[in-house]
Amino acid sequence: MPEPSSGGFIGLGRMGEPMVRRLVASGVTVRGYDTAAEAVKALAEVITPVDTAPAAADGVSVVILMLPDSNVVESVLDGGLLDALAPGTLLVDMSSSEPLRTRALAERVAGRGATLVDAPVSGGVSGARAGTLTIMVGGPDEAAATLEPLLALMGRVRHVGGVGAGHALKALNNLMSAAHLLASSEAILAGERFGLDPTVMLDAVNGSSGRSGSTENKWPNYIVPETYNSGFTAGLMVKDIRIALGLAEATGVPSELAARTVELWGRAVDELGPDADHTEIARWLRQHTKEGA
């Protein structure tokens, strides 16, 4: 199959919008759809807007989904998109979906003569804008090879296994990220209580063995300046880490730390709300530290 020069894109929100802009800037023609009229309007000058999800699949060989979760993905497919897929179409689910449901959905898509590939991303809105997302591809070798030039316009592509593997790895990655952010936040807040300057701590830690994405990126860019605007919500983080915990339990891996991480994040989301930026968990921890003083 030749390298795709056009495609459909469903889900033009915080992540989808900058991803589409990168595709269009690289010469890809995009048929775009979103249930939010404002999202479509924001891209109307650079895409071909369509009124329904099935219409996004008209005349294209690739359809990309960037949606909140498996429930929404299945709703869109059952709402007419599945029947609109022409034989040979590559359906790319870049959402953070559940891997076992992805495998089941792939069988249904195959029944239409099309192929489902999962390709979730890590890197947030800033990575989407810069084209530096990590894209974890799960699916057949031939489909992954066909999609690589297109996906590479949006970031660093890694073919990680068969269908569902991308969604599994994305969930496990976010479990590690969530645990790192909790651990680093607790440590930095303890340092503050002792009298250390957080910026001094971060400078030292980031040249030491305790460094992580949280100390190198989230704390200096979103927590220290108190902007809390990474673009990834706490609600989505909890969804992903619950998927990861389920995978750990299903495979018989000890998961005490994962379970505790999910518990603490769940408590934070109950108080902050699911739409809070995920970096606000540091603010939540600080507040609880004050209350316990």
Cβ(92)–Cβ(63) below 8 Å: yes
Q: Is 18 exposed, middle or buried (0-12, 13-18, 19+ CB in 10 A)?
A: buried
Give the residue ranges of DSSP H helices in the chain: 16-25, 37-42, 70-76, 82-84, 99-110, 124-130, 141-151, 165-194, 198-205, 213, 234-250, 256-272, 281-291
Of 41, 170, 218, 290, the active-site residue reads 170
Specify whether 170 is catalytic.
Answer: yes
Tally of CB atoms within 10 A around 36: 11
Helix (H), strand (E) at residue 136: strand 133-138
Tally of CB atoms within 10 A around 260: 12
Tally of CB atoms within 10 A around 83: 11
What are the residue numbers of the active site? 170
